[in-house]
Amino acid sequence: MPFLYTEKEDRKSEGAYAVITGYDGSVRDLSVPEELGGLPVREIGSSAFAGREDVVRVVLPRELRTIRPFAFQRCASLEELYLHNGVKDCYDGILRSCGSLRMIHVYCERKEDFRIIRDILRDADSILNFHIYLEDGEARLTFPEYVNEALEDTMARAIHFSIEGAGIAYRESVGKGRIDFADYDRHLPKLTDYDFEAGVRIAAGRLLYPYKLAEEARERYEQFLKAQSARALMCLIRERETAAVRLMTERKLLDPKALQAGLKQASKDGLTQICSLLIRYSEKETSGQAKGLSLEDW
């Protein structure tokens, strides 16, 4: 077994358990087992996988309880992390400087326990995407980045702190035992042009997985994507979000200019599924009128 670990005794007399300290060798998909050497895996040690450039996907075990500081820091290729909400202690910096991270999947098997999501959000000021699996549905939430600046006022001999970006407002919708989806959905108007790509992810995520999504919020998200359909579609194509592109075609959120530019870019990138979606949408919308788009146009 290439996993490196040590044995540790539980202070509450629940027996010994394994602490992961590293991995011997190269690995792309890092799936941490439930047990090692007959011991349950309950902890990822400090900097256990820090600085690895080979790891793309990480799956953590159901019974994991602790993730120590900087466990996955500077994992430059890490794109997806899967974990359960049974994690009680999540220390600082576990995902710091993971620039390729696209999605954090959280299985919420413990009711009204969102500590792991809250703790990860509090530790990071960069944009974060969560896919949350709940007992009665799924939710996909994006939390924009923010910048916390300290500005020195030499004349007044004082330091003024300012926070730029909507990331803090979105993060405040997540508490230890509750996610306030209505509050999360109220923040769309706070986004600026700087947050545009985050806004597209937020809108697409909520429409694709409308967990506790009010009708008013649904309409607001659709209006946002329709009003900015050309830019929004290019964002989704760039991120290869086929399901979100399909949603925009099904709900008729694309205008002709967006279709033309989108098909050109998708064709250039070799995204055949997205090309097919856009062509079918064009043909449907222009049925009985002018000829629809086709790949021959490019």
pLDDT digits (tens, 9 = 90+) for 115-173: 999 999 999 889 999 999 999 999 999 999 987 654 455 555 555 444 567 889 999 99
Pick one of 3.40.50.970, 3.80.10.10, 3.30.700.30, 3.40.50.10860 as the CATH number of 1-101: 3.80.10.10
Q: 108 to each of 105, 138, 170, 183, 232, how far by Cα in Å?
A: 10, 10, 20, 20, 30
The CB density around residue 184, as the number of other CB atoms within 10 Å, is: 24
Mean pLDDT along residues 105-112: 95
Tokens of 91: 């220390």
The CB density around residue 181, as the number of other CB atoms within 10 Å, is: 18
Question: What is the predicted pLDDT for the residue at 290?
Answer: 45
Residue 166 φ then ψ, to 5°: -90, 5
pLDDT digits (tens, 9 = 90+) for 253-288: 999 999 999 999 999 999 999 999 999 999 988 664
Tell me the DSSP string of 253-269: ---HHHHHHHHHHHHHT
Q: Is 64 helix (H, G, I), strand (E, B) or coil?
A: coil
- Taking the model in full, what pTM does it have? 0.90
Spatial contact of 67 and 91, defined as CB atoms under 8 Å apart: yes
- Residue type at 64 in one-letter notation: L
Residue 56 φ then ψ, to 5°: -110, -35
pLDDT digits (tens, 9 = 90+) for 10-65: 877 678 999 999 999 999 999 999 999 999 999 999 999 999 999 999 999 999 99
Residue 269 CB partners (closer than 8 Å, separation 6+): 237
Question: What is the predicted pLDDT for the residue at 297?
Answer: 53
Spatial contact of 56 and 79, defined as CB atoms under 8 Å apart: yes
Handedness of CA 248, 253, 255, 258 (dihedral sign): negative
The number of residues making up the chain comes to 298
